Amino acid sequence: MKYRLVSYLSLGHLMADMTQGAIPVMLPFLIAEHHLSYAAAAGIVFASTVVSSLVQPVLGYFADRFSKPWFIPIGALVAGLGVALVGIVPSYHLILAVVVLSGLGLAAYHPEAARTANFVAAENKATAMSLFGIGGQAGFAIGPVFTTALLLWLGLKGTLVLALPAILIGIFLTFQVPRFSVYMKTSTKKTGTTQPAEQDEWVPFLRLSGVVFCRSIIFYTLNTFIPLYWINVLHQSNAAAGTALTILFAAGVVGNFIGGRLADTFGLRTVIRGAFAGLIIILPLFVWTQNVLVATLLLVVVGLIHFMTYSPLVVMGQMFLPNHVGLASGVTFGLAVTIGGVAAPFLGMIADQHGIGAALWCVAFLPVLATGLALTLPHPRKETLAPR
């Protein structure tokens, strides 16, 4: 496995997903500044998520045929610049516009970067994807605390500071494009047309997408409503709300790495099934408690278990579609995630009518469905386990 190349991809993933981690902690400030309802605030998450998710499979499909490594630096740059503009535009519609711009950057980055990570991973695909994912989870963890500090210090105009890391990382990745290109050409020669084509397994892939649907709804519900839940239900400060989201994603970084290592050793299905079975118990307990200390401890456990499924789900999707790795990445990173973005405004309406706790209860039992679907998944033909 080319650890250095994976680390560069992970760095870009950090920048791209830092923008997604930043958006939820902006919501309380945007609600106060623009007098938005919960549903309108959730619509901001919806705009970023749906545009990004719908475009990703299309770009992934073309990446399988015409590799575009320059999507990697451009995607990270545009994702950051779009979010940097959120705090300075004067209207709700312009907020949606720049968030959509950021979503397009995410759509460009994820399929090409994930496809590249798959090729440089050799046999340790789950571990490589977990390292790639750690960048994303680190971005989600850094995004809330960094953005909260900027907003408390400079107000909404502080979002402009987010443009600086986007520009620096974009420039750095631009200089790495030739290395990505050379390695992708080498990988193509090694797996060229002289070898018999492997058969895609579309039916298992569709069932896997159902599992990702469930994970996505849980993820975006937590990502959208935890800051608001901390403020309005647990009666904590804006700073504490941003910290809670950071705790979730910091735990997710650890869980992501553990999940990748366990998947390479014990199998992708084992990790996916075990993690969702654990959430059947933990997630309802988290929603039920009203004690901020207990909620924080349970949030750590939720983050660990939930993000253990990240790399196994992505790698299993790529293994089910060996002839369409970019498309599989676009679906597991993108189209499946649309469901989470689509659910956010509806859950926002429930929160407006019945409280934020009611919105969280709506997804507390989704791990039951996810576990049921995971039990139907076959063993991927290409999966090889690392020595124990």
Q: Looking at residue 194, what is its pLDDT?
A: 38
Of the candidate ranges 66-70, 96-100, 283-287, the one whose mean pLDDT is the lowest? 66-70
Predicted confidence (pLDDT) at residue 140 exceeds the cutoff of 80: no
Degrees (nearest 5) of the Cα angle 355, 360, 365? 140
Residue 187's pLDDT band, with cuts at 50, 70 and 90, is low
Distances (CA, A) of 190 to 46, 182, 183, 186: 41, 13, 11, 6
- Strand, coil or helix: 314: helix
Residue, of 75 and 120, whose pLDDT is higher: 75
Predicted confidence (pLDDT) at residue 149 exceeds the cutoff of 50: yes
CB atoms within 10 A of CB 233: 16
Residue 191's pLDDT band, with cuts at 50, 70 and 90, is very low
Burial class (CB in 10 A: 0-12, 13-18, 19+), 58: middle
The top-scoring range by mean pLDDT among 32-46, 179-193, 298-312, 350-364 is 298-312
Find how far residue 314's CA is from the centre of its chain.
Answer: 11
Of the candidate ranges 20-34, 136-150, 374-388, the one whose mean pLDDT is the lowest? 374-388
Mean pLDDT taken over the chain? 86
Q: Output the CA torsion sign for 348, 137, 334, 78.
A: positive
Average pLDDT over residues 304-329: 89
Q: Looking at residue 11, what is its pLDDT?
A: 94
275 neighbors 305 (Cβ within 8 angstroms): yes
Residue 159's pLDDT band, with cuts at 50, 70 and 90, is very high
Burial class (CB in 10 A: 0-12, 13-18, 19+), 175: exposed
Distance CA 41, CA 371 (A): 31
Distances (CA, A) of 165 to 20, 65, 159: 14, 31, 12
Predicted confidence (pLDDT) at residue 270 exceeds the cutoff of 60: yes
